[in-house]
């Protein structure tokens, strides 16, 4: 009986301390704009995920048609959206042993009138991956998974930066 009371008191103390420190679950971001024009290519996996993330908030309409650009409050200019695969090391016989995967995304945010809200910003993610000729299919799947992971990280960083814009 005494152990049960101690457990309840401990759980209550933890709950009270978490609520007192300002802890809260992450909520959907709020944006200073309701319409955004994005010129990202329809074939860009990062562009597709960014559009989905913005539309999932149900607070921002993403416009992708260039003829409707005048309806947008802000314009997301994509300067660079690049995937790279660089050889890091080779064995004694010259075969590749390790690659570095890079995802580079450079963008800026401005109003329709040209006021710069976010200056040109580059977000880079990189991961190292070993390579083995006997497991080519598995390594291709691992590479795709790493690219998807880096892409999700970049989208989350962009979302936080867009949410940090307070005034147009």
Residue 97 CA to residue 102 CA, distance in Å, equals 17
Check whether 44 has a pLDDT greater than 90. no
Per-residue DSSP letter, 141: H
Helix (H) or strand (E) holding 11: helix 2-20
List phi, psi (to 5°) of 72. -85, 140
Q: Read off the pTM.
A: 0.78
Cβ(60)–Cβ(37) below 8 Å: no
* Residue 66, both tokens: 């260039």
**Domains in the chain, CATH or no CATH each:** 2-163 (3.30.160.150)
Mean pLDDT confidence for 86-99: 86
Measured CA angle at 47 (ends 42, 49), to 5 deg: 115
Alpha helices in 21-68 (DSSP H): 45-56
The torsion region of residue 22 among left (phi > 0), alpha (psi -120 to 50) and beta comes to left
Q: Looking at residue 20, what is its pLDDT?
A: 61
Lay out the sheet containing 61-63: strands in order across. Answer: 61-63, 35-38, 74-90, 96-111, 116-130
CA distance linking residue 129 with residue 133, whole number of Å: 13
Query: Residue 9: left (phi > 0), alpha (psi -120 to 50), or beta?
Result: alpha
Residue 22 makes CB contacts below 8 A (sequence gap 6+) with none
The confidence band for 3, taking pLDDT boundaries of 50, 70 and 90, is confident
Name the nearest CA neighbour of 33 among 115, 102, 138, 94.
115
- % of the chain exceeding 90 in pLDDT: 36
Residue pLDDT, tens place only, 102-138: 999 999 999 988 899 999 999 999 999 888 878 878 8
């Amino acid at each position: 009986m005494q152990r049960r009371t101690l457990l309840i008191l401990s759980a209550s103390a933890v709950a009270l301390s978490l609520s007192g420190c300002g802890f809260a679950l992450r909520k959907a971001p709020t944006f200073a704009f309701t319409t955004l024009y994005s010129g990202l290519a329809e074939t860009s996996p990062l562009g597709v995920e960014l559009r989905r993330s913005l539309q999932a908030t149900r607070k921002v309409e993403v416009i992708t048609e260039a003829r409707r650009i005048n309806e947008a409050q802000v314009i997301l200019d994509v300067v660079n959206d690049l995937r790279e695969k660089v050889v890091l090391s080779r064995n004694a016989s010259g075969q590749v042993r390790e690659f570095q995967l890079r995802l580079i995304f450079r963008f800026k945010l401005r109003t329709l009138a040209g006021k710069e809200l976010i200056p040109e910003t580059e977000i880079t993610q990189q991961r190292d991956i070993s390579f083995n000729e006997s497991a080519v299919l598995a390594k291709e799947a691992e590479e795709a998974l790493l690219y998807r992971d880096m892409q999700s990280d970049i989208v989350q960083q962009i979302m936080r930066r867009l949410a940090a814009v307070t005034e147009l």
